[in-house]
Chains A and B, each alone.
Chain A
Amino acid sequence: MKYFSSDPAAEPASVLYSRCTVDLKNGEMRFEDVPCRNLEDVLGGFGRSFQILAERNISHAYCEENPLIVNTGLLTGSSAMTGMRTYFSGYSPIKASKKGLPAAMWSTGSGNFGAKFKWTGLDELIFEGRSPKPVYALIRESAEGPLVELKPADHLLGLTTHEKMMVLQKEYGSDAHFAAIGQAGEQWQNVYMGAVALSTDNQLKSGEDKMRFAGRGGMGSLMGYKNLLALVARSSDKLKPLTPEVRNVNINVVKGGGSTRLQPISRGGGGGTWAAYDVLQVFNAVPVNNFRPQGNDLPEKLFRERVEKQFDIKSQACFRCGITCHNNIHEKKEDGKSGRFLAKFDYEPLNLLGTNIGIHDAGQAARLIHLSDNYGMDSISLGVTISYLLSYNERHPDKPLLNGATFGDFEKIKELIDQTALGTLPEIGRGSKLLSESTGETSYAYHVKGLELPAYQPETNPGYAWAIAGGHMSMATYGLLTREGKSDMESWVRGITVDKLQIVGFDMIGLCKFFDITKGICTQMVVDCLKSEFNLDVTTEALAAAVRRAFLRGLALELRQGYQKDEYTLPAEVWERPNPNIKLPNITTPDFITELQKRVWEIFEPELEGLLPEA
């Protein structure tokens, strides 16, 4: 980035970002310094990529005109804690309107790739077209600025995410980090839920497959379509010396309370997202067997206190991050020492490839998560599409689909995952929306607008309907009923239209949402970081306005891609077969949803004018 003003909100064009556009068809490249159009462009991430996507009319995700945009946020690679995010954006193969048009989508992950990418001197890399042969892209620093090269990748074909990274690490050594797809992304025709894996320091040093993922929306499949198997970012580390201001912010992030619950239990923290199991179980709201909690203690089998008797749980972190939110599960040897790494236990994959498909054995859940990660699939879309199939088979014991798998049948579920990743089960690989449309039984397909739900019961979160890129990462209403006890219309209208949409700010600026999940990015902490790192004067009000515009632009783009208002809803089973076991007020009656839709659109609709370029 180049800064010729300290006031990017008033003078965005005085901030330039470094972009490379690669035509994969012929290898041509264009490097340019692009003036920002607005504060969203300056902040980066989806705030910028969605403006690029809005300039294109795309009617099919797998077409040459659909770009894959890889970028970072303003604070990626900075000394602000959690500043490690990379963003992948494009029109999604899996998220599509009923009209059949693909939705614009972004996905993001941590790991060290983002910082390395930024340190090469590049802020954004756009891949156009499609390579005739498998390639990977090397992005590296040079005395003349960032360089990008396309390299043959036949030797990477058929390898898992982790194996690809290990091969590339041998070639590029310790100064490089990697983003890679697995076999699933390579099978893009039949797998729409391919993820992009991002390497971590821990992984490259230990050789254990401890990656992070940009999973949602099939950006790994889009990468596969483009015949682009991996990215290598090679650069020396360029962390600036920590200033007193950023040091204070970082201390506040770790010690000030905002991230305490994500930190290890041994340090007095809450132990990461896994803790949601215990909390949601009190309300019988842990998804079980395709989002039908039964009011029993089955979910408790994957409670941390049970799992740690059997396995060794290591609290680990991305490089430099004091939050240390990863819970990595290792075998426990007979002498009590730590053995082989098995899988990461974050709440979402654990539930959706565990309890929600009837798997209550931690070792089996670990195996499925491990497979999903190594094949490079979005564990949320994969888990929910499988749970739909299992639910269908339970309802049709005489005419089951595919291999006839049922809830809890580990071997058959594993077989489904293997076959899906290798491209022989498009029924699963293309997601729950298409599968349910093919069976004609759509009411218990747990997706909203074509994207599978994360592991929060929809009965607790009608805000899912307005999430623009996945239920929990782009609309933070998942705790409004459960945590805050809000069941009145006013709270929900305000939550969706004012407060909780602000979570998407993290997907612009380059920070993890765990930096300060309840307050978002419109805080003095972020203002202090921007001043200290780049001498930028930005107010919290300007940040809030930019985040809101970016969110609304996402909503406007959905409408332009054919979404109708009646698609802003929940899976119909929620009100057709209300679950009496959930111990929370019912806020998903048809009346409540209808009123909520009316009130939310009354607020959003007038603001959507003028956010997209003229068609």
Chain B
Amino acid sequence: MTLTIQLVGVFRSGRFNDAVREYPAATRVREVVDELGIPGPLLGIVLINGIHAGIEDILNDGDTLCLLPFIDGG
């Protein structure tokens, strides 16, 4: 299936800003995160098609997955 992956902030460094990529059907968010080598503690927000989602959510063909770092205030 085809996914649009958008990365925000520090996640772009050494990767990309956004990219259209192919994944097997029923891929979970976690598998994309692992594949991209994004460290778990840095991952703050997962958006699927602009809606907050979870790391174990299953992605569908045509989805846009946006991965954002954590924010801490201060």
Beta-carbon contacts under 8 Å, B23-58 to A: 39-42, 44-45, 47, 50-52
Given A265-B10, A282-B8, A484-B52, residue A273 in contact with residue B45 (CB < 8 A): no
Which residues does chain B contribute within 8 Å of A513, judged by CB atoms? 73-74
Chain B, interface SS category: mixed
Which residues does chain B contribute within 8 Å of A282, judged by CB atoms? 8, 47, 66, 68
Q: Which of A258, A260, A279 contacts B9 (CB 8 A)?
A: A279
Q: Which of A261, A265, A478: most chain B CB closer than 10 A?
A: A261
| A239 in the interface (beta carbon within 8 A) | no
Q: Determine if A278 and B52 form an interchain contact, defined as CB atoms under 8 angstroms apart.
A: no
Beta-carbon contacts under 8 Å, A138-190 to B: none
Interface residues of A toward B: which range? 35 or more
Closest to A269 in B: B42
Which residues does chain A contribute within 8 Å of B39, judged by CB atoms? 260, 268
Q: In the complex, how many angstroms separate the beta carbon of B34 from the nearest chain A beta carbon? A: 16
Q: Determine if A482 and B9 form an interchain contact, defined as CB atoms under 8 angstroms apart.
A: no
Q: Determine if B71 and A257 form an interchain contact, defined as CB atoms under 8 angstroms apart.
A: no
Q: Determine if B72 and A262 form an interchain contact, defined as CB atoms under 8 angstroms apart.
A: yes
Which residues does chain A contribute within 8 Å of B74, judged by CB atoms? 273, 325, 346-348, 472-473, 513-514
| A93 in the interface (beta carbon within 8 A) | no
Q: Which of B9, B44, B70, B72: most chain A CB closer than 10 A?
A: B72
Which residues does chain A contribute within 8 Å of B69, judged by CB atoms? 261, 270, 275, 278-279
Q: Determine if A271 and B10 form an interchain contact, defined as CB atoms under 8 angstroms apart.
A: yes
B interface residues, tally (CB under 8 Å): 23
Q: Which of B13, B40, B73 contacts A478 (CB 8 A)?
A: B73
Q: Determine if A482 and B71 form an interchain contact, defined as CB atoms under 8 angstroms apart.
A: yes
Closest to A487 in B: B52
Q: Which of A265, A275, A348, A583 contacts B50 (CB 8 A)?
A: A583
Which residues does chain A contribute within 8 Å of B44, judged by CB atoms? 261, 279, 479, 483
- How far, in whole Å, are A520 and B44 apart by their CA atoms in the complex? 17
Which residues does chain B contribute within 8 Å of A279, judged by CB atoms? 8-9, 44-45, 68-71
Chain A positions 237 through 280: 1 when the CB is less than 8 Å from some CB of chain B, otherwise 0: 00000000000000000000110111001001111010111111
Q: In the complex, how many angstroms separate the beta carbon of B35 from the nearest chain A beta carbon? A: 18
Q: Determine if B45 and A275 form an interchain contact, defined as CB atoms under 8 angstroms apart.
A: no
Q: In the complex, how many angstroms separate the beta carbon of B62 from the nearest chain A beta carbon? A: 20
Q: Determine if B73 and A517 form an interchain contact, defined as CB atoms under 8 angstroms apart.
A: yes
Q: Determine if A258 and B70 form an interchain contact, defined as CB atoms under 8 angstroms apart.
A: no
Q: Determine if A482 and B70 form an interchain contact, defined as CB atoms under 8 angstroms apart.
A: no
Interface residues of B (CB under 8 A from A): 8-10, 12-13, 39-42, 44-45, 47, 50-52, 66, 68-74
Interface residues of A (CB under 8 A from B): 257-258, 260-262, 265, 268-271, 273, 275-280, 282, 304-305, 325, 346-348, 454, 456, 472-473, 476, 478-479, 482-485, 513-514, 517, 583
